[in-house]
Amino acid sequence: MNYLPVFLDIKNKPCLVIGGGQIASRKISLLVRAQAEITVIAPEITPEIHDQAHDGAVTWRQKRFSADDLKDYQLVMAATDNRKVNAEIAAQCKQRNIWVNAADDVHSCNFILPSIIDRSPVQIAVSTGGASPVLARTLRAKLENCTPAAYGRLAKLIEDNRLRVKEKFSSTEQKRKFWEKIIQGPVAELVFSGQMDAAQKLLQEAIEHEDHRDLPQGEVYLVGAGPGDPDLLTFRALRLMQQADVVVYDRLVSREIMDLIRKDAELIYAGKERAQHALPQESINQLLVRLAKEGKRVLRLKGGDPFVFGRGGEEISTLIDEAIPFQVVPGITAAAGCAAYAGIPLTHRQHSQAVIFATGHLSDGTVNLNWEMLAHENQTLVFYMGLQGLEVICTNLKKHGLAPATPAALIMQGTTAQQKVIMGNLDNLPALVDEHDVKPPTLVIVGDVVQLHDTLRWFNPEEDVTASAVRFFGART
Ligand code: SAH
């Protein structure tokens, strides 16, 4: 080990920064966060440092550095833009046994600064001992991704309750086990999802009722898995997928996403094929309740977003009735995902000032959509589950005033390597379904923005059929 990692308490301690440019500015920001008492010595400073001096966060001495300046400091940052000057300052500091960091010059320093992940009071510092700052930053980014932003709040909650836990348990082993359970269980999840009062209450209950047995405490995560591309998962979705004990999933969740679930998690298929539900909704609600009551961490994984045609509301209302802790994690809904990957902006200053998400799922053959509201120019319509009723949709939009040549697209398996975009208009769209063997999941987008696909398309795993459709039916007049 070439360096000893330490965390210095420099709160209200005099620290000196020499230099007033961008490099110095970065060091100053760091020292400000650590609440040091900062003096800056430089003939000139950036506007940002000016502001900090104005606010009283730093004291600026407008002068050139001289060795005498060092006498009141134990920690110095040599941060001028001149490497030689920094090295000289560092040499003088070392002679006086002052801790000094010289910017970008590890050999002149007697301490170096790590890359930091700050979830105060939790901090993670990464260093390669100066070998490769880029490598350190890359590693930092990876850790950043898997460290929930609310870790600081969790640490604070633990700190606030530490004494009470200490009083409750006599052995260190019991305390350790207790905190492990808290950190990996619903209390932590409540903190991560921003429910601090509920977290405190649950922790309090856990402290009061903990009688050395491991009481099971289940919870449910209602998670949106996005439209298919695993890269579109949220950090939180991925983290919960990796800690769930059991996963209740839909048909729409892609194989690649399923592969990211913790390997030993139990998988339960909840189906949801149109008109052929593998499990009726009521049974799914009850299943979630039962699994959570068994003490399991239950992940309810849904395609897209759970609150967009996902029946998420119904599922959590049962959980509320049964007082089961839960959280809802949004996902990228099919409209957003498919539109982005098809190069069809859902709104556009010239073409569309509003966007409507509608369901095209027709129960018992009737359509109860508000056609008056839908059939307007300058807006975009997105139909989920619109394949079966496509004929009815197109006919009604035309009947209520939209031009037959209004551009419309079918996006099949959007965002995946199998994505197919089929371009047409309100007249020909139903025929294109058979012609191109279009199958669910497919999204229907109607409106002038659709034509932008021709110029804005960028993701194209399979040749799409824009050309033939336009050639056959002609451009819109
Ligand atoms: N909760 C989901 C929607 C569920 S309804 C969401 O927010 O996306 C199911 C419908 O969503 C499908 O019939 C289809 O119209 C659409 N859909 C979902 N994923 C899709 C995808 N990858 N490509 C195209 N359409 C998709």
Count of CA atoms in the C-beta half-sphere (13 A) of 474:
5
Q: How confident is the model at residue 209 (pLDDT cuts 50, 70, 90)?
A: confident
Catalytic residue among 27, 69, 229, 250: 250
Please answer whether residues 240 and 260 qualify as being in contact, where contact means their C-beta atoms are separated by less than 8 angstroms.
no
- The pLDDT tens digits for 152-166 are 999 999 999 999 999
Ligand 1 nearest atom to the CA of residue 444, by list position: 15
- pTM here is 0.77
Ligand 1 nearest atom to the CA of residue 307, by list position: 1
Is residue 215 over pLDDT 80? no
d(CA 117, CA 138): 12
pLDDT at position 276 is: 53
Q: How confident is the model at residue 277 (pLDDT cuts 50, 70, 90)?
A: low
- The pLDDT tens digits for 11-20 are 999 999 999 9
Ligand 1 nearest atom to the CA of residue 411, by list position: 24
Confirm whether 272 is a catalytic residue. yes
Please answer whether residues 140 and 117 qualify as being in contact, where contact means their C-beta atoms are separated by less than 8 angstroms.
yes
d(CA 26, CA 359): 51
Q: How confident is the model at residue 227 (pLDDT cuts 50, 70, 90)?
A: very high
- The pLDDT tens digits for 310-343 are 999 999 999 999 999 999 999 999 999 999 999 9
Pairing of strands 407-412, 442-446: antiparallel
Q: How confident is the model at residue 176 (pLDDT cuts 50, 70, 90)?
A: confident
- Joined together, the tokens standing for residue 120 give 């105060």
Quick one: which of 376, 387, 380 has its CA closest to 443? 387
Mean pLDDT to the nearest integer, 258-270:
94
- The pLDDT tens digits for 54-63 are 999 999 999 9
The values of phi and psi at residue 207, to 5°, are: -65, -45
User: What value, to the nearest 5°, has the Cα angle with vertex 118 and ends 117 and 124?
Assistant: 50
Q: What is the mean pLDDT of the chain?
A: 91
d(CA 341, CA 334): 10
Q: Is residue 415 within 6 Å of ligand 1 at its C-beta?
A: yes
pLDDT at position 300 is: 97
Look at ligand 1, atom 11, and give the residue with the nearest C-alpha: 384
Residue 287 CB neighbours (<10 A):
18
Which mutation among 277, 301, 362, 384 tests ligand 1's pocket best, with the greatest number of atoms within 8 A of CB? 384
Q: Is residue 407 within 6 Å of ligand 1 at its C-beta?
A: no
The values of phi and psi at residue 113, to 5°, are: -100, 130
**Ligand 1 centroid – CA 442 distance (Å):** 7
Least confident of 67-81, 277-291, 394-408: 277-291
- Residue found under tokens 């330490």: 6
Please answer whether residues 16 and 70 qualify as being in contact, where contact means their C-beta atoms are separated by less than 8 angstroms.
yes
